[in-house]
Amino acid sequence: MAYMPANDAPSAKLATAYVTIDGNRYACLMAKSFEGKMNVETKEVPTLGRTVKGVKAVGASIKFSMVVYKVTEIFDELVERYKNTGLLPTFDIQVTNEDPATTIGRSSKIYTDCVIDGDVLLSMFDADGDFVEQTIEGYAQDFTRPEKYSNPSYM
């Protein structure tokens, strides 16, 4: 009987992230977590002669969320530029997962023309707190997959 070897479960800790703003590429080593998701929007399609409604894809959006330790103010600069000019600059995020213990290789995604949606933490303190962290959320206009996991032989 075939099974998935435990080593093929990729570690979420073994990843890299880069943010590119105005041509400047920053190693996003302060990132604690990242999720990029594509939401597919659907509409119901009722049809005559059937009791079950069909469903058709009609659009999509790409959303990301990352938690970072506040060791940089690159995101503060983006919202300050928006405040001063009315133009919110876009940026790219590249995320690569690679666990050498697996047989599946590397997976890289590049999220392009990202725009911040929601809060950017400008300042904080908390006498009872641990670390200064912030969640950066937003939308990407597109993504590419320059590297993708290979299917394991047991599939």
21-60 pLDDT, tens per residue? 999 999 998 999 999 999 999 999 999 999 999 999 999 9
Instruction: Specify the pLDDT at position 154.
Output: 87
Q: How many domains does the chain have?
A: 1
Assess if residue 99 is contained within a domain. yes
Assess if residue 119 is contained within a domain. yes
Domain assignment of residue 116, given as a range:
6-147
Assess if residue 154 is contained within a domain. no
Distance, CA of 76 to CA of 97 (rounded, Å) = 27
Picking from 31, 36, 110, 35, the residue whose alpha carbon sits closest to that of residue 75 is 31
Picking from 70, 66, 71, the residue whose alpha carbon sits closest to that of residue 93 is 66
β-bridge mates for residue 98, sequence order? 106
Instruction: Give the predicted TM-score (pTM) of the model.
Output: 0.92
- The pLDDT > 90 percentage for the chain reads 94
49 contact partners, CB below 8 Å, separation of at least 6: none
Provide the mean pLDDT of the chain: 96
Assess if residue 155 is contained within a domain. no
Instruction: Specify the pLDDT at position 153.
Output: 86
CA 103 to chain centre: 24
**Can you read off the two tokens belonging to residue 87?**
């133009």
Assess if residue 152 is contained within a domain. no
Torsion-angle region of 130 (φ positive above 0: left; ψ -120 to 50: alpha; else: beta): alpha
Assess if residue 21 is contained within a domain. yes
Assess if residue 101 is contained within a domain. yes
Read off the CATH number of the domain in which 108 is found.
Answer: 2.30.110
β-bridge mates for residue 101, sequence order? none
Residues of the chain with pLDDT under 70: 1
